[in-house]
Amino acid sequence: MGDASDLYDAIYKNLDVINSNVAKINSNVVDIGEGLVKVNANVLVVSGGVEDLNQRQGILETDLQKLATAFADFVEADLKHKALALAETRIGNLRQELQIRFGFYAEIRRMATGILQSVDTGIVSDATLRTATEEVAIKAPGYWLAPALVAIASWIRDDRDTCAKAIRECLKRDDYKSTLFFMLVMRRLSRKEASLGWLERYFMHQNPYKLDREFIVVLEAITAGAFPPASRQLMMGQCKKWLDQLTGSEGFVEEQRSQWVAFFEASGPQPDDRYPQLKKFATNWALLEASLRAARTHAVLHAFFDGILTSSADLSKEVKVQLDEILSLLVSNFDDEELPWHEKVRLNELIIQLNGDEKSAQAMIATEKHVFQQNVDFLQLLTNAAFNPELAGATKTTQALAVSISQPWIVEAYDSFTAQCRSKIPQAVEMDVDGFKSSTKDGSDEKTLLAKQDVFYSQLLRSELAKLSFPFPMVAIGGLIGLIGLWGLLSDFPISAVPLVIGGIMGGVAIHNNQKAKAKVTEQVSQRKKAARGVLRACIAEAVDYRREHGAEDMKAESVRQLLTSITAEDFSSHSKDVARNII
């Protein structure tokens, strides 16, 4: 019995040691559990911070894109504002420089007009004419018009010697312009033989590859019947010969066609903000905008050519008045020395007119640059008069006649322009709305696009939810701690309930936080989908309007072509239909 008692005592002592050790283990487990709870809380905080950081990054990228777009718009607007201010400053300086350098030339031109009018009225004395003309001859030693005025004044007072000397001097300074001047003056004074003689001399100077800017004025005067009948035959034969010669030469007609195409391209209206959603979300908006601008050009061109048709005057009704205007144009045209300065003035005028859009101004001035050339071929002369008769030194009637003669290659150029515009029409409107990339031809597939957008956001939601994986580690650790606590309870250790509760809390919190994060992601995707759906509908609606407008504007091309093909020289020269018909 003594041995058995000793054995039981030893067992109880060992059990006490085991219970003490289990208590220590439970205490350590509790500490571990509390530490794991803290770790779990910290992990959740870090996970939430990373998610928040990702969202902030996405917002930051969007804001940066908006900022970049706004900055680019600001830079463009600032450049236009600076270009506008600089053009306004330059144009004042250029005009001042023109006045300083060539102001007296303008005074002589005004005097020439007054002298011509005084010839008709006879209200200015010979002495006054002599004093005035001789004074300008001294002040403008290199200008051809000064001795020409001296010659006219000498002729009026029948001073043959001075008249002959003055004529020789002005011919010496500029034979071509002096010849043209006296030719028109003699016609004005009904000196038919003298005017025909000057006309013959005038044609001696002509080279169809290098004509002076004033030739178009002579063409208008002769086709209007302002000169003797013999001059018509002379002009008709010469023009027909030049047309055959130049159109048969390589490159001349092609050059005019190219210039007309460039003129058509530069004539488009300025862009507007009629399609703000497409401008913002269409990835190929630059192509869409350029194509629409080209389509809108047809209406502009129709107005341009229709204006030429409707504004054409019949010179046979008021020949004398019209010829006075032609002669006034001759004496008031800029001298060759002035042309580069006026070209600079014109560029800055266009910049101001286009609100600082220097690029568009350069494009427009490029189509007009040939107007400022001092010598051009016959075909180029016609093109200059058609583009801008004022700058070419002609009238609206001359513009109409030039268009009629140039009509064959204008039609060819317009056909090329139209084909070029149609070949560049984007086949689809490419859109990117919140990462959903899609395209539509005309907006008729709205339901399909909206369905695809639903699929996109469904996939996006699955993708975002997949990033929030189930918290297996935390649930496993909690479960392990709970099992230890359960084992302790089954072994009659009440304190083991603590690990069981801690394990349950850890697993529950982990699962709850995961579900909460998923709900948050689902809500965010839902909001994005709702906003993007509205944007996509607006883009599709604008795409419908865009295609409708584009089609309507493009259809106007046919009316422009019909207008061009209907133009004939007879429409603009009723006094000399036969001449114009034979020229063409």
Instruction: Output the tens digit of pLDDT for each of the chain's 584 residues.
Output: 555 556 556 655 655 555 566 556 656 655 666 666 676 666 666 666 666 777 777 777 777 887 877 787 788 777 888 878 887 888 888 777 766 566 666 677 777 777 777 766 667 777 777 877 887 777 777 788 888 888 888 888 888 899 999 999 999 988 888 887 888 788 878 788 888 888 889 888 888 888 876 677 677 777 667 788 888 788 877 877 888 888 887 788 888 899 999 999 998 888 888 999 999 999 999 999 999 999 999 999 999 999 887 765 554 444 455 556 666 666 655 556 656 766 777 788 888 888 878 888 777 777 666 555 557 788 888 888 888 777 776 677 778 878 888 888 899 999 999 999 999 999 999 999 988 999 999 888 999 999 999 999 888 888 887 776 666 666 566 666 666 655 655 555 555 555 656 656 666 666 767 777 778 888 888 898 899 999 999 999 999 999 999 999 999 999 999 999 987 655 444 433 444 444 44
Give pLDDT, residue 225: 72
Q: Identify any residues that bridge with 431 across adjacent strands, giving them in sequence order.
A: 282, 438
Q: Give the contacts of 517 (CB within 8 A, at least 6 positions apart).
A: 47, 48, 51, 468
What Å distances lie between residue 305 and 298, 368, 389, 396, 510, CA to CA?
A: 11, 17, 13, 11, 78
DSSP state of 405: H
What does pTM read for this prediction?
Answer: 0.59
The rounded distance, in Å, linking the Cα atoms of 331 and 205 is 19
Q: What is residue 261's predicted lDDT score, i.e. its pLDDT?
A: 93
Cβ atoms of 579 and 232 closer than 8 Å: yes
Q: What is the pLDDT of residue 93?
A: 81
Q: Which residues contact 441 (CB under 8 A, 6 or more apart)?
A: 427, 428, 429, 547
Rounded to 10 degrees, the C-alpha dihedral 486/488/494/495 comes to -100
Helix ranges (H only) for 317-395 are 319-332, 339-353, 358-368, 378-387, 389-392
- Per the DSSP assignment, residues forming a β-bridge with 282 are 431
Phi, psi of 263 (to 5 degrees): -65, -45
CA distance 358 to 351: 5
How crowded is residue 201: how many other Cβ atoms within 10 Å of its Cβ? Answer: 17
Q: Residue 364 has what pLDDT? A: 77
Give the DSSP H or E segment for 469: none
How many whole angstroms separate alpha carbon 410 and alpha carbon 241?
20
Taking phi first (over 0 means left), then psi (-120 to 50 degrees means alpha), and beta for anything else, what does residue 349 get? alpha
Amino acid of residue 148:
A
Tell me how long the chain is: 584
